[in-house]
Amino acid sequence: MQFQWYPGHMAKAKKSMQEDIKLIDVIIELVDSRIPYSSKNPDIDTLANGKARILVMNKCDLADSVITDKWIKHYEEKGYFTVCVDSKNNKGMKAVNSVIQKACSKKIERDRRRGILNRPVRAMIVGIPNVGKSTFINSFTGKSCTKTGNKPGVTKGKQWIRLNKNVELLDTPGILWPKFEDQKAGLNLAFTGAIKDELYNIYELSMLLIKFLSENYSDIVESFYQIENKTLSEAEILERIAVRRKCIKNGAKPDLDKAGRYLIDDFRAGRLGRITLEKPDVLLIGENKNV
Ligand code: G4P
């Protein structure tokens, strides 16, 4: 599902998030492993209000694992607990359980000192649209979960999913707004399909993707489309892709929009291989951002 955010929507989402955060022990924020900075909500740090934080690097099956490791190190140094998952193929879910226990160890110890034993920790999943929240919840909860229903005074109107004796999950994910101000982040969100395609011109988007791939993964274009791309311009590469993919318009001209659409779809589906669009060191050096 794709969203248009307006100031009113954001204020409402923020308010509901603030209410939900009061009820939980740990916030589980999902990011897309291909764009761990661009897919991270800019305001969650303020909203989190001192709660334990887990960053789930979702879609790690599509990302470059060497760069994923760098992001993990980067975010762990910032105080997050992290875990990599491929929700679509149910991979990494066991590790999520143990990272929740680790992230909540202080609370569990506090409870123990007060004589409260085995009280489940309460978690909430948050993330921008399309990052994979529903897929993750389905994969993580599996079939064994049960709804615990409302508990008066504590969880008014909220439904909790009892995952096991240690964890309860708020059953509706918090949908967060993406970074709007940052043009580079907007572009990365467009590449991965997290924001509406209509907001971008597909030809320009595909040219920018070719530029990125030529600079960072030049072998991929060459081997996937069987094009000798070292000396070609972006426009020429797209033309060759059009010919390879038989995207031809009337008059036997290459249909560049159609070829661009193929390229973007091949990237999004992971057919080009495992590709990450941003690195923590480059972001830090290049643009002096708080990533
Ligand atoms: P949301 O609730 O956060 O909005 O996201 P949702 O779960 O609907 O997932 C958005 C898309 O991302 C879905 O693809 C879903 O299959 C895909 N996805 C989620 N997690 C992963 C993952 O770990 N790896 C990969 N490769 N894909 C993932 P879709 O094209 O919209 O739907 P479909 O083709 O799966 O039917």
Average pLDDT over residues 68-95: 96
Domain residue spans in the chain?
8-171, 201-268
Q: How far apart are CA 178 and CA 174, in angstroms?
A: 13
Out of 30, 64, 88, give the residue to mutate to test ligand 1, the one with the largest number of ligand atoms within 8 Å of its CB: 88
pLDDT at 172: 85
pLDDT category, 291, cuts 50, 70, 90?
low
Task: Quote the pLDDT of residue 147.
Answer: 55
User: Which among 186, 161, 181, 156 has a CA at the least distance from the CA of 171?
Assistant: 161
The residue ranking higher by pLDDT, 238 or 288, is 238
| Span from the CA of 41 to the centroid of ligand 1 (angstroms) | 18
Q: Write down the mean pLDDT value for the chain.
A: 89
Q: From CA 113, how far away is CA 119, in angstroms rounded? A: 13
Instruction: Specify the higher pLDDT residue, 137 or 287.
Output: 137
How far away, in angstroms, is 131 Cα from ligand 1 center? 7
The CA 129 to ligand 1 mean position distance, Å, reads: 10
Q: Does the C-beta of 280 come closer than 6 Å to ligand 1?
A: no
Q: Name which residue leads in pLDDT, 15 or 290.
A: 15
Structure tokens of 224? 């996937």
Count Cβ atoms within 10 A of the Cβ of residue 104 and give its class: 0-12 exposed, 13-18 middle, 19 or more buried: buried
pLDDT at residue 250 is higher than 60: yes
112 vs 270: CA distance, rounded Å: 46
The residue with greater pLDDT, 83 or 184, is 83
Q: pLDDT digit string (tens) for 203-224?
A: 999 999 999 999 999 899 889 9
Give the long-range contacts of residues 6-12, CB within 8 A, separation 24 or more: 9/177, 10/177
Give the pLDDT score at 286. Answer: 44
pLDDT of 290 over the 80 cut:
no
Helices (H), the chain: 7-23, 44-48, 65-77, 93-103, 105-113, 133-141, 183-192, 202-216, 218-225, 234-244, 256-268, 280-287
Please tell me the number of Cα atoms within 13 Å of 172 on its side-chain side. Answer: 11
The per-residue pLDDT for 281 is 82
| C-alpha to C-alpha distance for 102 and 196, rounded to whole angstroms | 37
Q: Which of 1-10, 39-48, 135-144, 271-280 has the highest mean pLDDT?
A: 271-280
| DSSP assignment string, 162-211 | E-SSSEEEESSPEE-----S-HHHHHHHHHHT-S-GGGS-HHHHHHHHHH
Ligand 1 center to 86 CA (angstroms): 10
Which CATH architecture is the domain 8-171 placed in? 3-Layer(aba) Sandwich (3.40)
Ligand 1 center–CA 177 separation, angstroms = 17
Task: Indicate whether this model's pTM tops 0.85.
Answer: yes
pLDDT over 70 (residue 58): yes
What architecture (CATH level 2) is domain 201-268? Orthogonal Bundle (1.10)
Mean pLDDT along residues 60-85: 97
Asked, colleague to colleague, whether 8-171 and 201-268 share their fold, the answer is: no
* Cα–Cα distance for residue pair 248/146, rounded to 1 Å: 54
* Structural tokens at position 90: 């149910």
Closest ligand 1 atom to Cα of 268: 26
Q: Does ligand 1 have an atom closer than 6 angstroms to the CB of 189?
A: no
Taking only the tens place, the pLDDT of each residue in 136-187 is: 999 998 865 555 554 444 445 678 999 888 899 998 888 888 887 888 999 9
DSSP conformation class of 86: B
